[in-house]
Amino acid sequence: MLTNKNKNILQELAAQVAEIAALPVHEKKRQMWRDLNGLRKTRPMVMIDQVCWNEMNVNDELTLLCSDQECRNYELRLRKIIYQWKHFSVDMVVEPYITIPMAIHNSGFGICADEEIAVGDATNDVVGHMYKNQFKDESDLERIKTPIITHDVVETARRLEVAHGLFDDLLYVKAGGVEPYLSLIDPISTWMGVEGALYTIIDKPDLMHALLSKMTNGYLSMIDQLEEQGLFSNCQSLIHCTGAYTDELPAPGYNPDKPRAKDMWMFGLAQMFSTVSPAMFKEFEIDYTTKICERFGLVYYGCCDPLDGKMDEVRMLPNVRKISMSPWANEERGAEEIGKDYVFSRKPNPAHVGMTNFDEELVRDHLKATLEVCDKNDCSLEIILKDISTVCYEPQRLEQWAKIAMETVEE
């Protein structure tokens, strides 16, 4: 319920965000991200994302005071922005708007994970999964459906009306459409389990090809539907935890009321393929994902998968601009392969903020090694600390990491 108390709480927080967003440093940071994404010389950019927020609230800075769930959702978003700006902002950009998610429904592929979950910390949403294989033969493929995209226009209008009542004159209200994450292999790993999927590639390659073909066609249909209904996002500021600012998007002919795939970034990944050969990577990932990547303006590729040994294949993907170099990548080889052609998107080891004791010199040396190898190979570099499942309930570790990182890149 939009009570005066709820409204006052949110407007006070929105005013703080608006004040932060008005600082000149944000346009400077946007331009630095544009330069990086355009492969122009700028200092390495730094981001912190996917934080263990359950361990951050030591001074009630994240304690929610609103009584209504819709208001609490906005309150949490605003408090996180303020908290991150105060404690570990690095190269984040705070925008003078708030994005209101449109009421878009995706029916999906018709498969739900059959899994067992292991919980280590009940306050943390990072849990363990054991997935059961639901695809044993060709007959199981009949369960795969083509995703259907629908939009509840009335509900979107209601959400926007509430948001305007809360935030007008403080933050600009924007309707937020779909920002695509289109991995083929990651969903399959939840339907078959990683072990089951890898054995299927070896023992029943035709089954895996048929599954990948159905999924690829489903994604392409989904892209068509999102374009036809004008449901893609028209305000991308992030792509997979990194700055999305660029001079190259949107594409010519852009209509903000009907954004197209080619006006946007997408990100793709095949984390389960960390241990497969380059030939298998091409056969079961590149040959299919290419059909999706070619629809988009720019592509961020990779996540935890070490891609340093598969760069010949990654280069086959169209429109790739950023390539993930995970904690498990050989940085020297990755930098040599990437050179000036892509952004070297380095993921420092998040275990360094989750060890029993925080070691500042370990963090500094780890970051310096990345800077040295990228400088040697003339790589455009971004450093993205993410997948942070714990800081041992010492949130100051992220402030310490941020301070070390900014000192290192500014040297």
Please name the helix (run of DSSP H) or strand (run of DSSP E) that holds residue 214, with its range, or none: helix 205-229
Q: What is the largest CA-CA distance in the chain?
A: 63
Q: What is the pLDDT of residue 61?
A: 97
Structure token pair of residue 389: 């499942």
Overall pTM > 0.85: yes
Q: What is the pLDDT of residue 137?
A: 87
For tokens 């912190």, the residue is 48
Domain 4-410 has CATH 1.10.287.370: no
Tell me, what DSSP letter sits at residue 133? P
Residue 187: which residues within 8 A CB-CB, separation 6 or more?
A: 109, 111, 215
DSSP E strands, 70-109: 97-101, 104-106
- DSSP for 280-316 reads HHIIIIIHHHHHHHTTSSEEEE-SSS--TT-HHHHTT
Q: What is the pLDDT of residue 23?
A: 98
Structure token pair of residue 344: 């070297």
Q: What is the pLDDT of residue 123?
A: 79
Q: What is the pLDDT of residue 58?
A: 85
Q: What is the pLDDT of residue 184?
A: 95
Q: What is the pLDDT of residue 136?
A: 86
Q: State the Rg of the chain over Cα.
A: 22
Q: What is the pLDDT of residue 134?
A: 86
Q: What residue ranges of the chain have pLDDT lower than 50?
A: none
Residue 154: which residues within 8 A CB-CB, separation 6 or more?
A: none
Q: What is the pLDDT of residue 1?
A: 62
DSSP E strands, 230-293: 238-239, 242-243, 265-268
CA dist 325 to 41, 44, 54, 321, 409, Å?
19, 14, 27, 13, 17
